[in-house]
């Protein structure tokens, strides 16, 4: 799986949009971009994934650049409960059976 | 569904003792994963199963670690003998190999070896 680079930490004010960047310059054509988050003392939680088109669900939006070398996870209206470590992971299409490789992620802190 | 269920939630044991961690995956999922999380090394994949068969155990740190999946609804991770450096949070996750591409994680077992 391709390697990802994320900032170690970010702050965001409550109610604002949180934009979390991820670089994956070596991504292959058949690799998806996945985002998970881990709230303190809990197991990781799936957020969203995409291949090349922008994606949106009830939790977040995922913006992938045209060259697919980077992406941004957007939490439109951050709340205190969004404070967590966010992991950006790239993996092969149909890799539901293969384990996820977690990096260090971004520790997002939502400030009241 | 109750999600992935792990037991116990906390385990404290003495060095040299055998430790068994348990996991019940989500019904209908046919892939199961064991992870370990420490401050130093982050989240590491230890082993994963497809249809109850171990596929990749290259992440298992040493022979003291073993994992089994006797049926689709139960898996164990055993450490024998345990050592203080095994102290960590151990997570189990499951997914559906064909239908789903997301993995669902349990709440983890916090293991402390003294």
Angle at Cα B109 formed by Cα A108 and Cα A111, nearest 5°? 15
Q: Write the CB contacts of A67 (distance below 8 Å, at least 6 apart in sequence).
A: none
Strand partners, B58: none
**B55: which chain A residues are within 8 Å (Cβ-Cβ)?**
97
**B100: which chain A residues are within 8 Å (Cβ-Cβ)?**
96
CA distance, residue B111 to nearest chain A CA (Å): 13
DSSP string for chain B: ----EEE-SEEEE-TT--EEEEEEPPTT--EEEEEEEETTTEEEEEEEEETTEEEE-TT--STTEEEEEEETTEEEEEESS--GGG-EEEEEEEE-TTT----EE---EEEEE-
| pLDDT per residue of chain B (114 residues) written in tens, 0 to 9 | 689 999 999 999 999 999 999 999 999 998 999 999 999 999 999 999 999 999 989 999 889 999 999 999 999 999 999 999 999 999 999 998 765 668 999 999 999 999
Give me the residue from A43, A95, A98 closest to B105, CB to CB: A43
Query: Are B107 and B96 within 8 A, CB to CB?
Result: no
**Rg of chain B taking only CA atoms, in angstroms:** 13
- Tokens representing A32 are 């998806």
Q: What is the pLDDT of residue B99?
A: 59
* pLDDT band at residue A30 using 50, 70 and 90 as cut-offs: confident
Q: What is the pLDDT of residue A96?
A: 53
CA distance, residue B17 to nearest chain A CA (Å): 25
Q: How many other CB atoms are there within 10 angstroms of residue B70's CB atom?
A: 9
Q: What is the pLDDT of residue A2?
A: 63
Q: What is the pLDDT of residue A1?
A: 60
Residue in chain B closest to A92 (alpha carbons) equals B101
What are the tens digits of pLDDT across the range A50-99?
Answer: 999 899 999 999 999 999 999 999 999 999 999 999 999 998 765 555 77
Cis-peptide into B8, omega within 30 deg: yes
Record: contact A97-B48, CB cut-off 8 A:
yes
Give me the residue from A42, A100, A103 closest to B103, CB to CB: A100
Give me the residue from B42, B99, B103 closest to A104, CB to CB: B42
Instruction: Name the 3-class secondary structure at A6.
Output: coil
Q: How many other CB atoms are there within 10 angstroms of residue B29's CB atom?
A: 21
What are the tens digits of pLDDT across the range A31-45?
Answer: 899 999 999 989 999
Record: contact A94-B101, CB cut-off 8 A:
yes
């Amino acid at each position: 799986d391709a390697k990802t680079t994320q900032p170690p930490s970010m702050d965001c004010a409550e109610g604002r949009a949180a934009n979390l960047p991820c670089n994956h310059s070596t991504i292959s054509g058949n690799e998806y971009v996945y985002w998970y988050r881990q709230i303190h003392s809990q197991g990781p939680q799936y957020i969203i994934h995409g291949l090349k088109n922008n994606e949106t669900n009830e939790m977040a939006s995922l913006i992938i650049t045209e060259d697919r070398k980077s992406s941004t996870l957007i939490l439109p209206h951050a709340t205190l409960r969004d404070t967590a470590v966010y992991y950006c992971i790239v993996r092969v299409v149909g890799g539901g059976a293969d384990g996820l490789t977690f990096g260090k992620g971004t520790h997002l802190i939502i400030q009241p | 569904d109750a999600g992935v269920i792990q037991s116990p939630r906390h385990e404290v044991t003495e060095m040299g003792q055998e430790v068994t961690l348990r996991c019940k995956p989500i019904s209908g999922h046919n892939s199961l994963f064991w992870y370990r999380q420490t401050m130093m090394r982050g989240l590491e994949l230890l082993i994963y199963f497809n249809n109850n068969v171990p596929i990749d155990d290259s992440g298992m740190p040493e022979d003291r670690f073993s994992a089994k999946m006797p049926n689709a609804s139960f898996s164990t991770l055993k450490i024998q003998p345990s050592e203080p450096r095994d102290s960590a949070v151990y997570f189990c996750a499951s997914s559906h190999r064909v239908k789903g591409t997301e993995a669902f994680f349990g709440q983890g077992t916090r293991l402390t070896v003294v």
